Structure 1
Amino acid sequence: MVRGVSFDLEAGETLAIVGESGSGKSVTALSINRLVDFGGGRITGGSILLKRADNSILDLTKASEAELTKIRGAEIGMIFQEPMTSLNPVLTIGTQIEESFRLHRGLTGRQAKAAAKDALDRVRIPDAARRLTYCPNQLSGGMLQRVMIATALACNPRLLIADEPTTALDVTVQAQIMALLAELKRETGMSMIFITHDIGLVAGIADKVMVMQAGQAVEQGELNQILDQPTHPYTQHLLHSVPHFASGQAARTDFQRAETQANPALKVDGLTVRFPVKGSFLRRATGAVHAVEGVGFDLMPGETLAIVGESGSGKSTTARAILGLVKSTRGTFTTNAGKAADRTSAVQMVFQNPYASLNPRLRVDSILAEPVIASGARVSAQMRERMLMLLKRVGLPENALERYPHEFSGGQRQRLCIARALMLNPSVLVLDEAVSALDVSVQAQVLELLIELQREYGLAYLFISHDMAVVERIAHRIAVIYAGQIVEIGDAASVLSEPKHSYTRRLISAVPTVARRKENFALDTRQVPSLVRPIGFEPAAPEWRRFAPDHVALAEA
């Protein structure tokens, strides 16, 4: 519910709307183009005045559905937060992007296909022509978000509403998306409403900021005024909760590899994952996608190794191969519980989306029992005692066992996911973007919980993330993956403060911070290298350069 929200937006201006989940940010955005009508909501008061291309003024609250159909997509573009729920799962990416060009620009046939390919090229999706033939389930979350952005920008709208458009993207692609949006603003005078929880991003793009809480705008004003002199307590709380990137100065120092004599909790050697590319003739393999190539590392008990890199670089594929969710082409895995056959109990995973990773039909006691049953054990009284202990440890009440997932907030659901992952007393937790879907204040609480659990149980974390500020907060070591290969790995403070590989430097320089105001984002026209190789291709052995006892980087040509 939204009450009494008012603001003006001039041509070419960007308004950032910030606030936590449930504050009314998205409802405000959906109301502007009347999409809130389709969600069971309705506008009960106020007006929404849109100045159109012919300088006429239209009150969108009184517009007919026929008028709104012409405006949506053409004059008001919308980028949604969840690409998987916004794209049709049974249609190819190309078909869905072409639709915008067909409806609003009258393009057909080859012209529409060429325009769709150009749209993907603009948001830096490699192998754009091939990706047009993919369905949504064949692309990563970050790739899908880029598809959504490409679709929204297809018709150069006068107003773009972007609802958390870069949440699933790594910082380099995020910077390119922001550069693309800035370029469109300069060329067309496009206005933008940008909804985000990333204050660093707000500092780099916004002209004005509106802070929302419980359906109301509690503070709004010019960018510098809100960031430097916030007056409302909630704004002050929000700014304080945001993790700030400090170029390695805030990296953890509570674990030293040289001081531990333990065996690795997880040892990965030569991990390679390839997916066949099949041609149209008899569906024979014509090549292979080298998704992960020769990845190796040691992860010690009590240590956190963060894996960072672009969406599609191989981060999640690496994690899923370690867990056996994706079949590896070659490579070995060893845990301190034994060989790969024992990975099920020794290595557990916490997924990105707590809303999607919990079965809504099961009570919490059944959810926590799932890994126990899957391992072949019996849910005994002792196991039920462990459930209660873990619930208490992650900050949830005992009566949570009798409740269902929909009765919990996002942060509480992720705590449930952590408790479930700990049921089998694993030595390694794989955390795949485990806090990226959470509000910043909840995110800080979950990170603190993870650090406490690590110290208490000696857990090793494989932490996959695109948020460099979060990585700096939790990681002891960092591995940078680019195009399926680790290009740099070492002590977190060293990698973040003195990056040696050109891609790592590019990654760190793209991190948005509150100190960088109204940044002049520049488009990077360099193409991400294709991961498709011909059958039988084997890359040359990597050459490493050592810069510190625990800091190496791949030699560059």
Structure 2
Amino acid sequence: ATEPQLTGIRGAEIGMIFQEPMTSLNPVLTIGSQIEESFRLHRGLTGRQATAAAKDALDRVRIPDAARRLKYTPNQLSGGMLQRVMIAMALACNPRLLIADEPTTALDVTVQAQIMALLAELKRETGMSMIFITHDIGLVAGIADKVMVMQNGQAVEQGELNQILDNAQHPYTQHLLQDVPHFTNGSTTRSDGRRDKDASTEPALKVDGLVVRFPLKSSFFSRATGAVHAVDGVDFDLMPGETLAIVGESGSGKSTTARAVLGLVRSTRGSFSVGARKASAEQSALPVQMVFQNPYASLNPRLSIESILAEPVIATGGRVNVAAKARMASLLKRVGLPKNSLERYPHEFSGGQRQRLCIARALMLNPSVVVLDEAVSALDVSVQAKVLELLVDLQSEFGLAYLFISHDMAVVERIAHRIAVIYAGQIVEIGDATSVLSKPRHSYTKKLIAAVPTIDRRHEHFELDTRQVPSLVRPQGFEPAPARWEQFGRDHMARAEA
């Protein structure tokens, strides 16, 4: 086929949703212009018609303030929001075949459920066929009719959905099914390692009244017309040796909270303390380390592993002496990598190995608190299980406190001692993991739990929620009403709902 013929097929006949939106979207073009291109090429729409169609496409995947977001460039949206943009572009012209390559990896469970419902609805309405590529067996159970399992470039098993899930024959398929995090509504939460809060125990991390706002300015005189209330009055304590999971939708403020604690985002108000060290919103970051979501993007490809592990030492004014090199070797061994890794480069490692390197780098300065921002969401289930096991072992060995940012409730259930649920920049429920997962009190927490995909929910029909996600844009001078909390046991609170 010629290139013009292929151009006519791509988008109109075959749509594709890629896994990594940051590398698939043009960083210098607005979201609107990139979506409108598909309508111009395949439907002949121009001007306002194309813009209106682009807005409808964003509304379809539940992006709030769609008209405003059309003017954004990709760097102004979160990873989950960007993935929704990718899905909107792929579905814009209702293709006959949709190839979805890990389309919901970066999305929280509620948006994931809505995207799956949308894909299923389009499939029913248009007769669209779909090739769904994923490592999430729960999603496979929810949408697939037939399943093909691949290993090392070969199809090792294929068949009807129930046949594969209930009677897998190949050892690799059996191994995949064993490693799937099974969500049990709080009956298998962690009971090890947690140190309960009492008067004599100082929190490893204390966050008090955290507020993060991004001003919105008019083009005329650059005057502030309002602000995005990304985080609005967040408070929590993280005890030594404990894992506090912060869960919520994409754009809810969970990653912004973590970045504010590290000083990567400037806070508007609030204070933080790590042990005896305190900092205000105006001061620099506290000695807390972070493991980012994407191990491919968070390691410099030009540096050797030795140089990467030396970065934290050099950045804090230290010297890479014999003791530092000995710690590098010790940490590499501890995270399950050979000593000769020091001379190698990031491209020589798999995704799971790179995330182990990121964990080793985070531990170079012997921190008391480690922030894990979606640290296992980009990994397949077998690698994910091993990394979670490593994190639990390291926490037990070094007494680390983890602030675990995630949208995957099954993973949260496996690693968290306590859970804070964040919605529209505010914590709406917080408490012991078992209590929150088994007896959720806030309607949003219930919605999150109900949307968790499991292998037991096969072809479950999710109702497509067409309600608009609440906007975080507030007028200049707006302040939210004080929160009213309801207590449900010693360590379980939920924000009162109107």
* Category of TM-score, reference length = shorter chain: over 0.9
CA distance in 1: counterparts of 2:427 and 2:109, whole angstroms:
17
> Which of 282, 302, 305 is 1:361 aligned to?
302
Does the CA-based 8 Å contact 2:195-2:240 persist in structure 1?
no
Tell me what 2:458 maps to: 517
Select the residue among 228, 234, 243 that pairs with 1:295.
Answer: 234
Counterparts in 2 of 1:106-145, with a 5 A limit? 106-145=44-83
Distance 1:398 1:480 in 2: 40
Superposition deviation, residue 262 in structure 1: 2.4
Distance in structure 1 (CA, Å) of the matches to 2:92 and 2:276: 52
Deviation at 1:286, TM superposition (A): 0.6
Query: What is the Cα deviation at residue 255 of structure 1?
Result: 3.9
What is the Cα deviation at residue 258 of structure 1? 3.4
Measure the CA separation in 1 of the matches of 2:354 and 2:261. Answer: 24
Q: Please tell me whether residue 505 in structure 1 is matched to residue 443 in structure 2.
A: no
- 1:328 is matched with 267
Q: Deviations over 1:147-167 (max 9, x none)?
A: 000000000001110000000
SS of the residue 1:271 aligns to: strand
Q: Which amino acid is 2:257 matched to?
A: T
The answer on 1:538 being equivalent to 2:479 is yes
Contact kept? 1:274, 1:291, Cα under 8 Å: yes
CA distance in 2, matches of 1:358, 1:520: 40
Structure 1 residue 345, shift from structure 2 partner: 6.5
**Aligned CA-pair RMSD:** 1.2
1:317 and 2:256 aligned? yes
| CA contact 1:117–1:129 (8 Å) conserved in 2 | yes
Aligned partners of 1:269, 1:343: CA distance in 2, in Å?
16
Structure 1 residue 65: Cα displacement? 2.6
Q: Given the alignment, which residue of 446, 457, 462 partners 2:398? A: 457
- Identity among equivalent positions (%) equals 82
Q: 2:203 aligned with 1:269, yes or no?
A: no
1:110 shift after superposition: 0.8
1:268-298 deviation digits (Å, cap 9, x = unpaired)? 0000000011112122111000000000100
Contact 1:77–1:161 at 8 Å: present in 2 too?
yes
The Cα shift of 1:418 comes to 0.5
Over 3 Å counting, the alpha-carbon distance change for 1:194 and 1:71 in structure 2 is same
* Count of aligned pairs between the two proteins: 495
Contact 2:207–2:273, Cα closer than 8 Å, also in 1: yes
Q: Which ranges of 4 or more aligned residues in structure 1 deviate by more than 4 Å?
A: 341-345
**Is residue 417 from structure 1 mapped to residue 355 from structure 2 by the alignment?**
no
1:304 aligned to 243, 263, 273, which one? 243
1:43-65 CA distance string (max 9 Å, x none): xxxxxxxxxxxxxxxxxxxx333
For 2:116 and 2:83, the matched residues in 1 are separated by 13
Structure 1 stretch displaced more, 498-507 or 402-411: 402-411
Aligned residue identity for 1:110: R
Q: Is the 8 A contact 2:261 2:285 kept in 1?
A: no
In the other structure, the counterpart of 2:129 is: 191
Q: Which of 108, 122, 129 matches 1:170?
A: 108
Q: Secondary structure at the match of 2:246?
A: strand
Of 90, 98, 109, the residue aligned with 2:28 is 90
Moved more, 293-302 or 239-248: 239-248
Aligned equivalents of 1:178, 1:384: Cα separation in 2: 48
C-alpha distance after superposition, 1:352-387 (max 9, x if no partner): 111111111111111111011111112221111111
Partner of 1:20: none
Question: Partner of 2:278 in structure 1?
Answer: 339
Query: Which amino acid is 2:382 matched to?
Result: S
- The question of whether the paired residues in 2 share the 8 Å contact of 1:345 and 1:425 is answered with no
Alignment of 1:211 with 2:155, yes or no, is: no
Q: 2:383 matched to 1:442? A: yes
Query: What is the letter of the counterpart of residue 518 of structure 1?
Result: H
Instruction: Look up the match of 1:284.
Output: 223
Q: CA, structure 1 residues 408+239, in 2 after alignment: closer, same or farther (shift >3 Å)? A: same
The amino acid that maps onto 1:398 is: K
1:514 Cα offset (Å): 0.5
SS at match of 1:548: coil
Contact 1:289 1:531 in 2 (8 A): yes
Matched, 1:248 2:189: no
Whether contact under 8 Å (2:193, 2:396) holds in the other structure is no
> Which position in structure 2 is the counterpart of 1:8?
none
Does the CA-based 8 Å contact 1:182-1:521 persist in structure 2?
A: no
SS in 1 for 2:414: helix
Structure-2 separation of matches of 1:474 and 1:340: 28
The SS at the match of 1:126 is coil
